[in-house]
Amino acid sequence: MWEMVQSYIFHTRWISIGILEIEAYGKVTDGVFNIEKQVMDTSLYLFQQDSGLQVTSSTNTNKYTHKAFTKYVYDTDGYPLAPGYKYYISQTTTSGQEGGALILGETETGGGGVEACALTVLQEFCEDDDGLPVRFNVSDGGYVISEDSNVEIEFVSYEKPCAQSSKWVVVENPLIFNSKWISIGSSEDLGDVTQIMDGVFKIKEQGLGYKLVFFSKWSRTYFDIKRYNDVDGRRLVAINFESKKYHPFEVEFVNAKRYRRSVV
């Protein structure tokens, strides 16, 4: 049955079906539909019983077309991702090489030494625990996250990181590693030689889940976030070419409040 719905996920009322599914994210407007004939236009009206207002749904307007086709990013419970909420980034079953949760690790600095602080984003080889949850922030505003959103990603942990910031950054230093990779921290944490790339993350649909991509504002180039088998885990890297060394990273998002993995 058609229902007129109002919710935070869209800026105007819209028509939907499925009362139980609607109530999970929106409010059903109480009313009845009427059909009226107009010149060069057929309009469908909902008479809103509580206010006496008529809400029009016209067949001859494209005012909201671009919004209607916005593709939202959903968690494993079917809800759109919301800025400020905590999620676990989990690998899907079709992502190829198996792997576990996301953690921070200390990696080599290039001169035989190891980072004094765990800055590098790694995926564990085995699926033993939940890892670190992340929080998504939308730099261009909005109450939910879509595939068009410019996204900031940061780890959320009860333990304060040794870096000045827990936000994800894409960094580059050929003396340490031959590809761009994902880290946390500022230039003071990473050192003068390691360059932080100016850009934003985005989430795009892929396979049964999603992929993370990075858009470089300087080169106007998109990079897929993939995995490289490092010593202590699979390092997350930013790649814009194909190579067997780098494995796909198809993911899904698990609401941290509604789920905890039970470890046997």
Q: What CATH code is carried by the domain that includes residue 115?
A: 2.80.10.50
Q: What is the pTM of this model?
A: 0.71
223 within some domain: yes
Question: What is the rounded CA–CA span in Å between residue 74 and residue 130?
Answer: 19
Residues 62 and 99 in one domain: no
What pLDDT was estimated at residue 259?
A: 67
Choose the final residue of a domain: 68, 94, 110.
68
The answer to whether the beta carbons of residues 195 and 238 sit under 8 Å apart is no
Question: What is the rounded CA–CA span in Å between residue 48 and residue 29?
Answer: 7
Instruction: Decide if pLDDT at 64 tops 60.
Output: no
- Over pLDDT 90: what percentage of the chain? 45
Residues 64 and 90 in one domain: no
Q: How confident is the model at residue 159 (pLDDT cuts 50, 70, 90)?
A: confident
- Tell me the CA distances in angstroms from 172 to 34, 106, 195, 239, one per residue in order: 60, 16, 5, 12
Split into its structural domains, the chain has a count of 2
244 within some domain: yes
Q: How confident is the model at residue 234 (pLDDT cuts 50, 70, 90)?
A: very high
Q: How confident is the model at residue 62 (pLDDT cuts 50, 70, 90)?
A: very low
Instruction: Decide if pLDDT at 110 tops 90.
Output: no
What pLDDT was estimated at residue 44?
A: 53
Residue indicated by tokens 């953690």: 103
- Tell me the CA distances in angstroms from 72 to 43, 136, 151, one per residue in order: 28, 14, 13
What pLDDT was estimated at residue 263?
A: 42
Q: Which residues pair with 48 in a beta bridge?
A: 31
| H or E element at residue 215 | strand 209-216
Instruction: Give per-residue pLDDT as tens, 173-230.
Output: 998 899 999 999 988 888 888 999 999 999 999 988 999 999 999 999 999 999 999 9
Token couple for 76: 């494993």
Instruction: Give per-residue pLDDT as tens, 18-31.
Output: 665 555 556 777 77
Domain of residue 11, residue span: 3-68
169 within some domain: yes
Instruction: Decide if pLDDT at 112 tops 60.
Output: no
Residues 216 and 111 in one domain: yes
Pairing of strands 54-58, 41-48: antiparallel
262 within some domain: no
74 within some domain: no
Instruction: Decide if pLDDT at 40 tops 60.
Output: no
The one-letter code for the residue type at 195 is: Q
Residues 143 and 181 in one domain: yes
Mean pLDDT of the region 24-47: 61
| Percent of the chain as helix, strand, coil, to the nearest 5 | 5, 40, 55
